[in-house]
Amino acid sequence: MSGRTRGWLFGLAAILAIQVLRMPVRNGSAQDGFEAPPEVRSAVLTACFQCHSERARWPWYTQIAPFSWFVHAQVEEARKRLNFSSWKDYLYDPGTAAQKFGAINQMVRSDAMPPWYFRALSARGRLTAAQRAAIETWAIEGRARALKAEPN
C-alpha cells in the first residue's frame, strides 16, 4: 500500500470513528408558541427556527461529524439566547419581551442575523428586503408595546 493510500484510509477510518460522537441537533418538547403576523412568522420560521427553536430540521449532511459539532454548538448557544419555542414565556415578563424584540430588530437591521455562514450555505438564510422590513417593524412595535406595560 502506498503512503498516500494509507493516508486516505486512515482519514476515512478517523471520520468513521468520530461518528460515535456525532452530536446531532435534537429538539426539545417545548411547543411552538410563536405568534406573529403571517409574513413575519413565515420569515422567522424559514430563517431563524433552524437555530432559535426546538423545531430545527437540519439536512443529513450537516449532521455528520465534525460539521455536526459546529452546528450543535451554534444551535445550543442560539437557543440559550433566543428560543422562539419559549416565546410565550418571554411575553409573560414584558421587560424580557422588550429586550428580545430590541435584540431581534438590532440583529436583523445590522445584518448580523442570520449569521453570514448560514446565508452563504442555505437559501433559507437569505431574507428578502420586504421580509427583513416586516421583522424589523414587528420588533419595533412589539418593543414599544412591552415597554408601555413595563417601563424600565
Partner 1 sequence: MPCRKKTILTFLAVAAGGVLAFSQAVHANGATVATVRFSGDRFEPAKLTVPANQPFTLEVTNADKKAIEFESFDLHRERVVRPGQTITVYMAPAAPGHYTFCDDFDHSVAEGAIEAR
Regarding 81 and contact with ligand HEC (CB under 6 A), the answer is yes
Three-state DSSP class for residue 28: coil
Residue 65 found at the interface with ligand HEC (CB under 6 A) = no
Give the one entry of partner 1, ligand HEC, none that residue 114 binds, where binding means its C-beta sits below a cut-off of 5 to 8 angstroms depending on kind. ligand HEC
Q: Which is nearer to ligand HEC, 87 or 118 (CB)?
A: 118
Total Cβ atoms within 10 A of residue 28: 12
Q: Taking a C-beta distance cutoff of 8 angstroms, is the pair 72, 124 a contact?
A: no
Nearer to ligand HEC, 14 or 112 (CB): 112
> Are the C-beta atoms of residues 33 and 85 closer than 8 Å to each other?
yes
104's grid cell:
431581534
Tell which positions 3-42 bind ligand HEC, by CB under 6 A.
Answer: none
Residue numbers 36-55 binding ligand HEC by CB under 6 A: 47-48, 50-52
d(CA 91, CA 53): 16
Q: Which three cell numbers stand for residue 121?
A: 450555505
* DSSP letter (8 states) at residue 29: S
Task: Kindly state whether residue 28 participates in binding partner 1, applying the rule CB under 8 A.
Answer: no
* Site residues for ligand HEC per CB under 6 A: 47-48, 50-52, 74, 77-78, 81-82, 103-104, 107-108, 113-115, 118, 125
